Structure 1
């Protein structure tokens, strides 16, 4: 009888397992929200070289590889089998901003730049900064200065009956005394 009573809780526990949800029945992350309510934090992923129209405009055919590297930076991809081609790839995924992906290809003839393939949607520096700036202030910025009309509307400062003491009337300021940084006895004595 005792073994039967001891096995009842185990049987009840195993029987309860049939009521556990399966992976298919659990709510999933769909789109931008979990359960249609909560937006999870997404890690910002920035990879590659940011190139703008201003940077690419400085690069001219016939430049040596070292000068192209100085102007555009080191390429993200250099292939051992295709040493005459450098791929400058840029991707960025930020929450609240559209995903961006661009590819600039530099082709070389020996040690000199032969051609630079640039996408049509390459932004200027200002356009790039505006596209990645997702900060939108929720409240207005504080005003830091008064206008002349606001300044003239202020009450005049109160005149004190006691004269403020001057440094000359009090005498010279007392000198500061600092403790020594090291003891004079020394470590070896």
Structure 2
């Protein structure tokens, strides 16, 4: 009797752990976290730094902008004069941080910069 009770309790506990790790709760809270478990940093998109944005100047060609910023994550199909750069970082299971920068071109030259980072040299 005692062995079946222990076996039943172990089976319920392991089922609870497996289903708890595979899905989140209805309220949208985080998954079950085990103490001491390592969580990786999750990076997505183009890395965007303030130093990169500071190098951009109005009048730069598309090739010059791409050399500084890299290939845009999104190129608008209906507006080829808009490039979007998005960078997302979620360090070790903590809250996700996101930066977005949109570049606008006119006559194949950089016209303006919008988004979370602005050039610090106030040339815009």
Larger radius of gyration: 1
Aligned to 1:74, the other structure's residue is in SS state: coil
TM norm structure 2: 0.63
User: Which residue number in structure 1 is paired with residue 34 of structure 2?
Assistant: 38
User: Which residue number in structure 2 is paired with residue 4 of structure 1?
Assistant: none
User: Which residue number in structure 1 is paired with residue 109 of structure 2?
Assistant: 112
Count matched residues: 98
User: Which residue number in structure 1 is paired with residue 5 of structure 2?
Assistant: none
TM norm structure 1: 0.43
**Does the alignment pair 1:64 with 2:66?**
no
Rounded to whole Å, the distance in 1 between the matches of 2:98 and 2:65 is: 21
Rounded to whole Å, the distance in 1 between the matches of 2:40 and 2:102 is: 28
Following superposition, the deviation at residue 38 of structure 1 comes to: 2.5
CA, structure 1 residues 63+121, in 2 after alignment: closer, same or farther (shift >3 Å)?
A: closer
User: Which residue number in structure 1 is paired with residue 44 of structure 2?
Assistant: 47
Aligned to 1:71, the other structure's residue is in SS state: helix
1:77 aligned to 42, 63, 74, which one? 74
Q: Whose RCO is larger (CA < 8 A, sep 6+)?
A: 2
User: Which residue number in structure 2 is paired with residue 171 of structure 1?
Assistant: none
Rounded to whole Å, the distance in 2 between the matches of 1:87 and 1:94 is: 23
Rounded to whole Å, the distance in 1 between the matches of 2:103 and 2:86 is: 11
- Unaligned stretches of 5+ residues in structure 2: 1-11, 120-124
